[in-house]
Structure 1
């Protein structure tokens, strides 16, 4: 396992990314239609932010 996968920010990145994908797929299948679109965008933005933090942490 590389240094990137061990960092705390990378774990949060994969957590938010998998959450966003799960919500997007379930909303598309009309299983959870009550989530507004900004919830998905929020999860995607959190995943991007965590990915950037992981990349910055990896540079140190």
Structure 2
């Protein structure tokens, strides 16, 4: 595997884990009542982005 392809794999995985962490953090804080001003649509968008980046990360590994 070439060096640039390996870097893309790592970056795609990092992006997935960062988005998943942000999504879980926002979801928990909203559930606790700390981030009540964030609409549910934002959480759905974050979940959708996690799914898309997860699929993209998996396809990058090939």
Which TM bucket (shorter chain)? 0.7 to 0.9
Give TM-score scaled by structure 1 length.
0.85
Larger Rg: 2
Post-superposition offset of 1:7: 1.5
RMSD: 1.3
Which 5+ residue runs of structure 1 have no aligned equivalent? Answer: none
Give TM-score scaled by structure 2 length.
0.82
Deviations 1:23-59 (A, max 9, x none): 0000000001000001111111111111111100000
How many residues in Structure 1 have an aligned counterpart in Structure 2?
55
Match among 3, 22, 38 for residue 25 of structure 2:
22
Alignment of 1:1-60 (within 5 A): 7-59=10-62
Which 5+ residue runs of structure 2 have no aligned equivalent? Answer: 1-5
